[in-house]
């Protein structure tokens, strides 16, 4: 890529896409294209085809997806698999049709089996059953990896797939039903802190900015108390501050890996600038792939690669930190950062999800990129962003 290359960032308003957009801008890329969902519905095949025909982007970063935490993944299973399949099929296929030079597809480390060896390397893919609660989303993302891989092998495209670990950062989703664990904990514990301080102005301001179940800060105080209670933030008017509690699903024992979203963006741009699909192949496969593409360029009517019977798979790249933290430890770090003195109530009747999901990032490190922001600093940064400090 050069600074005048036309780059389409699908999902440029979300947490992931906005971080990538910001990173590209900071590095001098000037010709960025982004469309909000009300301007371009990526599930509409004809609309996506028209968009590519008109805009003709040279590079594509596919960060658009339907995402959510354990509650949303489990409750909206049909939407998660259907919408993600539609989005990625339309974008990836049209990138091929229009001759895009390179595409980056973003998935998630939830693609790996529930009982995968820890840390999980790229070769763990499809070796055993997935975690049930996010199986539809994971299957959609696996299909995206295989779509990119298959187009590369048949058509000689340069489509690279990356699998970020759990992300958090600016423009995160703080919806208490649909968000991931870290932003949900920050919001719930922050609201608990506001109740502890009897700071109804801050509570109303929070609800006006991010209404819950249709209720905003203009609602009656009794309604707000009931609303917060229904979302795991328990409060008895007139009670002692230490009696305020925040509910957290599960035992708190599962461990998760977290990566600051702006660092994920830096890794993605690094890969776009420095890594091609063929770079992810073993040397013996790389030479066969190059020869096959050469034959195809000499005979354009040839529509597939002759790879001599070799099997090419698991060419995606994990993006993460290689370190994790238990949900209980994470919650207590957030509690300490925010200054909440109430209780954390772990609801063991609710599912834990996968007990451990730690990525092996040795492939990413070998390519030349490593993270810098650790979880303590990241929590402080996100809390500061959330409250607008």
DSSP code of residue 339: T
Report how far residue 248's alpha carbon sits from residue 208's, in angstroms, rounded to the nearest whole number: 24
The active-site residue, picked from 29, 137, 151, 168, is: 137
Report how far residue 305's alpha carbon sits from residue 181's, in angstroms, rounded to the nearest whole number: 43
Which ranges in the chain belong to alpha helices (H)? 15-26, 45-55, 70-75, 77-97, 135-155, 181-196, 200-209, 221-230, 261-274, 283-298, 327-338, 362-367, 375-387
DSSP code of residue 134: G
Report how far residue 338's alpha carbon sits from residue 329's, in angstroms, rounded to the nearest whole number: 14
What are the DSSP calls for 50-116, one per residue?
HHHHHH--SEEEE-------HHHHHH-HHHHHHHHHHHHHHHHHHHHHTT-SEEEEE--GGGS-TT-
Beta bridge partners of 233: 246
DSSP code of residue 119: S
Task: Determine phi and psi for 256, rounding to 5 degrees.
Answer: -135, 150
User: For this structure, is 383 an active site residue?
Assistant: no
User: ω into residue 119 within 30 of 0, thus cis?
Assistant: yes
**Which residues are known catalytic residues?**
137
């Amino acid at each position: 890529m050069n600074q005048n290359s036309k780059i389409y960032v699908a999902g440029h308003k979300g947490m992931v896409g906005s971080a990538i957009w910001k990173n590209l801008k900071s590095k001098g890329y000037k010709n960025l294209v982004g469309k909000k969902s009300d301007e371009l519905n990526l599930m509409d095949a004809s609309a996506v085809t028209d968009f590519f025909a008109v805009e003709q982007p040279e590079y594509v970063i596919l960060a658009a997806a339907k995402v959510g935490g354990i509650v949303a993944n489990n409750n909206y299973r049909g939407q998660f698999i259907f919408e993600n399949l539609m989005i990625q099929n339309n974008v990836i296929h049209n990138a091929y049709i229009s001759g895009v030079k390179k595409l980056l597809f973003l998935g998630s480390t939830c693609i790996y089996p529930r009982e995968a060896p820890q840390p999980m390397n790229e070769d763990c893919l499809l070796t055993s059953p997935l975690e049930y609660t996010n199986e539809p989303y994971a299957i959609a993302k696996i299909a995206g990896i295989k779509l990119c891989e298959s187009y590369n092998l048949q058509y000689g495209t340069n489509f690279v797939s990356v699998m970020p670990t759990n992300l958090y950062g600016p423009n995160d989703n703080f919806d208490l039903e649909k968000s991931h664990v870290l932003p949900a904990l920050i919001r719930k514990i922050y609201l608990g802190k506001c109740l502890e301080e009897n700071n109804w102005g801050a509570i109303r301001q929070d609800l006006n900015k991010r209404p819950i179940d249709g209720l905003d800060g203009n609602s009656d105080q009794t309604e707000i108390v009931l609303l917060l209670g229904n979302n795991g933030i328990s409060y008895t008017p007139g009670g002692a501050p230490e009696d305020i509690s925040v509910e957290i699903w599960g035992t708190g024992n599962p461990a998760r890996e977290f990566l600051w979203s702006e660092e994920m963006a830096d890794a993605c741009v690094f890969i776009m600038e420095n890594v091609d699909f063929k770079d992810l192949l073993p040397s013996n496969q790389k030479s066969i792939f190059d020869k096959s593409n050469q034959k195809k360029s000499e005979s354009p009517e040839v529509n597939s690669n002759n790879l001599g019977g070799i099997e090419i798979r698991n060419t995606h790249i994990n993006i993460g930190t290689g370190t994790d933290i238990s949900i209980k430890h994470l919650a207590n770090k957030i509690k300490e950062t925010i200054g909440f003195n109430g209780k954390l109530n772990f609801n063991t009747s609710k599912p834990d999800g996968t007990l451990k999901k730690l990525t092996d990032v040795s492939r990413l490190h070998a390519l030349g990129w490593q993270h810098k922001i650790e979880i303590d600093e990241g929590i402080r940064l996100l809390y500061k962003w959330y409250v607008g400090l």
